Each structure stands twice: as structure tokens, then as C-alpha cells.
């Protein structure tokens, strides 16, 4: 069989798989960038939501202060109107008092003939004086109330200005927080990309040029025949050695990557599009691909890799590398992919 495969390779070179690999690499790169963007938006939205809640509470306080300020201004206008009315009454009273005082002075010489009229004028003058005194007392009270309202108005305006300053400071802090979050996320992505590059370079050295194992973009790909027997999900004897090497490299990687970087090794199972033959424990290619991915994850965990750093996913026949129907295309689509990515 190996001789026949070698003969087919020498007869001609098929460029189509390489073209599909390139397209797949481009698609996965776009998906990776979109994932980073979604993650950044998620953390940013969490921070902004908290800030929006505080900002909404501050806006409610400002609205209450504004309403109270409007009421105080309305009361101030009414007080000023009352004061103007009292001042007009006082001026009229003073004019009447002056008029009566003139009558009293003009009739004082004729005490015998106008005694009764002078007495009546004096009583009227005393009444006007009492009215004037009451008016002056009310004016003093209104002046005191007006002074108190002015002090309250000044305090409210000062509180409103302080609230506006805090609002501006909060907006500045939100903007600064968003900028720092974006920078931090970019740094984490760059760090993970560097470790990913080192890790796959190390795997290339460990696994060498073994047939059925290759690097495609940011993924390490095992053809299913390297790890499993046909239609089965148990790790075959010939595949355990390769996974042992992988487990050793992953254990070294765990010690190197800082714990604050949220990374995982995702194991993706893929099958070809041919339906399963006969009656078995797997009802579909989807079941088989998921079971194979889980088997790889469990094997790596048994070899010392932290389970918190492992993820298993089954894609069935729905993510082919080669859309063809030939045996070579079907063989390439039956695979296990390993990808170092964010949690």
C-alpha cells in the first residue's frame, strides 16, 4: 500500500489541496481575529455596564437637584413679588402719614375750634403708623427669607457644578479604562501568539516529517488513520506514541505560559462525508468525530496535561478540507486538529 501511494505521488502533484489549505488558513485567521474582537468587546461591555449604572445614578441625582433648583427659583420669584407689593404699600402709607401730619400741623393753632378734628386726625395718624410698623416688620421677615433662599440657591448651584465635574471625570475614567483594556487584550493576544508559534515549532521538531501529520496555519493536523482504526474512537496502539510526544510538549507549555493568560488546547474531530456502515455504537459521523476528540483529550489528561487546558469538539463531515469525492480527498478530511487558542 505504501508503495502504491508513493507511486501516485510521483505521477503528478495535485495543487488543489494546497489551495484549499490556504483558503482554510485565511478563514481560520479571520475567525480568530473576530474571536479576539468579541472577547475584547465582552470585557469592555462588562466595564462599561458598571460605569453606565453609576452614570445613570448620577444623572438621577442631577435631575433631582435641577428640579429642586427650579422650585427654589419659583419661590424666590414669589417672594420678590410679595416684597415689591409690601414696598408699594409702605410708600402709600408713608404718603398718607405725611398728609395727615400736615393736617395736624395746620390745625394745631386753632386748638379751641378744631380740637375734635385734630384728635380725629391724630388717631388716624397713629393707625397709619401702626400699619407702617407692621409693614416694615413684614419687609424684614421677607428680607430674611430672601437671604435664606439665596444661600440655598448658591448651595444648589455649587452642588450642581460639583456633579457636572464628577460626571466629566467619570467619562474620562471610562474612556481611559477602555483604552487600557484594549491595550491589555492586545498584549495578551500577542503573548499567546508567541507561545503558539514556539509550541508548534517544537512539535515540528518532535514529530518530524511523519506521514499523516502536518501543520496547517495555526493548527496541527493528524490524519485519523494515525490515531484510530476505521470506524472506532479508541486510541490505536500506533497513535499512542505520537500523543505521548504531544502530551510532553503540552506539559512543558503549561509551565512556560503565565497563569493569567486564558489559553486552551482545542481538539477538533472531523470525518469524511460517507455515512457509517452497519450497526454500531455511533449513530452518525458527528457522534464519531466527537468521540474521537474526547478520546484524545482524555488520553492527554491521563498523561499529565491539565484538564482545564483541554477542550474537545466534534464537527462530523461539515468542515471538509477537500470537497472532492476521491479517496485522497476523503482521507484528508478524516482528521484530528489541535489548535492553541483563548478560553
DSSP assigned state of 305: -
On the question of pLDDT at 169 being above 60, the answer is: yes
Using alpha carbons, select from 217, 238, 225 the residue that is nearest to residue 338: 217
Rg, C-alpha atoms of the chain: 46
Q: Taking a C-beta distance cutoff of 8 angstroms, is the pair 288, 271 a contact? A: yes
Q: What 3-state DSSP class applies to 143? A: helix
- Bigger pLDDT: 112 vs 43: 43
Q: Where are the domains of the chain?
A: 50-185, 208-342
pTM of the model: 0.47
On the question of pLDDT at 153 being above 70, the answer is: yes
Residue 254 CA to chain centroid, in angstroms?
A: 29
Q: Which three cell numbers stand for residue 210?
A: 511523519
* Structure confidence by residue, pLDDT tens digits, 2-48: 444 444 444 555 667 777 778 888 888 888 888 887 877 777 777 66
* Structure confidence by residue, pLDDT tens digits, 274-283: 998 765 789 9
Give pLDDT, residue 317: 96
Record: fold of 50-185: Helix Hairpins (1.10.287)
The count of other CB atoms within 10 Å of the CB of residue 58 is: 15
What 63-68 contacts at long range (C-beta under 8 Å, 24+ apart), as own/partner pairs, is 65/156, 65/159, 65/160, 65/163, 66/160, 68/156
Q: Check: CATH 3.30.1330.60 for 208-342?
A: yes
Distance CA 297, CA 292 (A): 9
Beta bridge pairs of residue 264: 341
Residue 227, judged by CB atoms within 10 A of its CB (0-12, 13-18, 19+), counts as buried
Query: To the nearest whole number, what is the mean pLDDT of the chain?
Result: 79
Topology agreement, domain 50-185 and domain 208-342: no
Instruction: For residues 102-118, give the mean pLDDT.
Output: 58
* Structure confidence by residue, pLDDT tens digits, 51-71: 677 677 777 877 777 777 777
Instruction: For residues 76-100, give the mean pLDDT.
Output: 72
Give pLDDT, residue 1: 46
Amino acid at each position: 500500500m505504501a508503495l502504491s501511494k508513493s507511486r501516485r505521488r510521483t505521477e503528478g502533484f495535485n495543487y488543489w489541496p494546497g489551495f484549499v489549505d490556504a483558503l482554510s488558513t485565511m478563514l481560520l485567521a479571520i475567525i480568530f481575529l473576530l474571536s479576539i474582537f468579541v472577547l475584547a468587546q465582552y470585557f469592555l461591555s462588562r466595564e462599561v455596564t458598571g460605569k453606565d449604572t453609576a452614570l445613570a445614578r448620577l444623572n438621577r441625582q442631577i435631575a433631582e437637584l435641577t428640579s429642586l433648583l427650579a422650585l427654589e427659583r419659583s419661590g424666590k420669584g414669589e417672594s420678590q413679588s410679595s416684597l415689591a407689593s409690601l414696598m408699594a404699600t409702605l410708600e402709600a402709607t408713608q404718603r398718607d402719614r405725611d398728609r395727615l401730619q400736615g393736617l395736624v400741623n395746620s390745625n394745631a393753632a386753632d386748638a379751641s375750634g378744631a380740637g375734635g378734628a385734630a384728635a380725629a386726625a391724630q388717631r388716624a395718624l397713629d393707625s397709619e403708623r401702626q400699619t407702617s410698623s407692621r409693614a416694615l416688620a413684614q419687609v424684614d421677615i421677607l428680607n430674611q427669607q430672601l437671604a435664606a433662599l439665596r444661600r440655598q440657591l448658591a448651595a444648589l448651584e455649587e452642588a450642581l457644578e460639583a456633579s457636572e465635574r464628577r460626571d466629566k471625570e467619570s467619562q474620562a475614567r471610562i474612556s481611559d479604562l477602555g483604552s487600557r483594556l484594549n491595550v491589555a487584550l492586545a498584549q495578551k493576544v500577542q503573548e499567546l501568539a508567541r507561545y503558539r508559534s514556539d509550541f508548534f515549532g517544537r512539535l515540528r521538531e518532535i514529530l518530524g516529517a511523519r506521514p499523516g501529520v502536518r501543520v496547517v496555519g495555526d493548527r496541527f493536523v493528524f490524519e485519523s488513520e494515525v490515531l484510530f482504526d476505521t470506524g472506532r474512537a479508541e486510541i490505536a496502539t500506533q497513535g499512542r506514541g505520537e500523543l505521548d510526544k504531544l502530551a510532553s510538549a503540552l506539559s512543558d507549555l503549561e509551565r512556560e505560559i503565565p497563569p493569567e493568560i486564558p489559553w486552551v488546547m482545542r481538539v477538533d474531530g472531523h470525518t469524511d462525508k460517507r455515512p457509517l456502515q452497519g450497526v454500531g455504537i455511533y449513530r452518525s459521523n458527528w457522534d464519531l468525530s466527537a468521540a474521537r476528540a474526547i478520546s484524545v483529550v482524555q488520553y492527554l489528561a491521563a498523561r499529565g496535561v491539565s484538564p482545564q487546558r483541554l477542550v474537545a469538539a466534534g464537527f462530523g463531515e461539515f468542515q471538509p478540507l477537500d470537497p472532492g469525492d476521491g479517496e485522497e480527498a476523503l482521507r484528508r478530511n478524516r482528521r484530528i486538529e489541535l489548535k492553541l487558542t483563548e478560553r
